[in-house]
Structure 1
Amino acid sequence: MASAAFEAIVEDFEFLEDWEDRYRYVIEQGRAMAPLDDALKVPATKVDGCASQVWLHPRIESGVFSFEGDSDAMIVRGLIAVLRALFNGLPVAEVARVDARSEMARLGLNDHLSSQRSNGLRAMIERIGSVAAEQA
């Protein structure tokens, strides 16, 4: 059920043998992402439960889900980019059907993120799911 963009990330990860290379890859994904406009960094878009500052700004246009995001931590910015690859462009009704934890586990992230980062990732996934559920 993962998007082609996410599948491309999974394929790239298969070629990266050690975690440090994968970590750098995730950070590069975040660097390539356009920054979130400061006007959108407001309490309503802030994600609670993350060790770093995280903002997600979802949009649903013509029934299609997408979101922008940002963080003050480079690895978290990269995780946002990976989540965007997983969710952006899906019909809003399909967002809730994505098993994001399992999809992210395909990248081996669960074994290498600190517990705080894992909690933050879970909080971002929950926010995405709740926004999509409200609109579905």
Structure 2
Amino acid sequence: MPLTAQAQQALEAFASCPSWEQRARLLMQWGERLEPLSDEERQEHNRVHGCESLVWLVAERRDGRLHFRASSDARLLRGLLAVLLVRVEGLSDTELATLDPADWFNQLGLQRQLSPSRSNGLNAVLQRIRELAGRSA
């Protein structure tokens, strides 16, 4: 599955960080890139359940493709959301269905630092992305 330019940029940026501390700092910087959600978008119907932290996810169609925006109350999770969203951006429903988030975070050098609850939360986000993509197809 090909990488978008932004996903490739993420891969290269994280590959250049030799330590977890540097990757964590970079992750928080990526989290600051997330497009902000309005108070109206931060409502229960956009909340992703299955995450320990509060996470909201919205999808909109632009130029025939789904575009996702997300936010969380947790800084590290915002970074994880940001790098997940750059990986799913522009993918077809079929590509979304076969995407392995564990593999993506492993490529970024982040998999070992993901606690089971964070992994479960990110899987819940990916599942919600797939649901939203299926609904708008």
TM-score scaled by length of structure 1: 0.89
Matched with 1:53 is 54
Matched with 1:135 is 136
The alignment-based identity, stated in percent, is 37
Please give the residue correspondences for 1:27-46 in structure 2 after superposition, counting only pairs within 5 Å. 27-46=28-47
Could you say what the CA RMSD is over the residues aligned between the two structures, in angstroms? Answer: 1.7
Please give the residue correspondences for 1:1-136 in structure 2 after superposition, counting only pairs within 5 Å. 1=1, 2-92=3-93, 94-136=95-137
Tell me if structure 1 keeps the 8 A contact 2:15–2:109. Answer: no
CA distance in 2, matches of 1:135, 1:97: 18
Deviates more, 1:62-71 or 1:91-100: 91-100
Aligned partner of 1:44: which letter? H
Q: CA deviation at 1:116?
A: 1.4
Q: CA deviation at 1:72?
A: 0.4
TM-score scaled by length of structure 2: 0.88
Q: Count residues in correspondence.
A: 136
Deviates more, 1:66-75 or 1:28-37: 28-37
Tell me if structure 2 keeps the 8 A contact 1:58–1:65. Answer: yes
Tell me if structure 2 keeps the 8 A contact 1:50–1:121. Answer: yes
CA distance in 1, matches of 2:5, 2:45: 30
DSSP 3-state at the match of 1:52: coil
Tell me if structure 1 keeps the 8 A contact 2:93–2:130. Answer: no
Q: CA deviation at 1:84?
A: 1.8
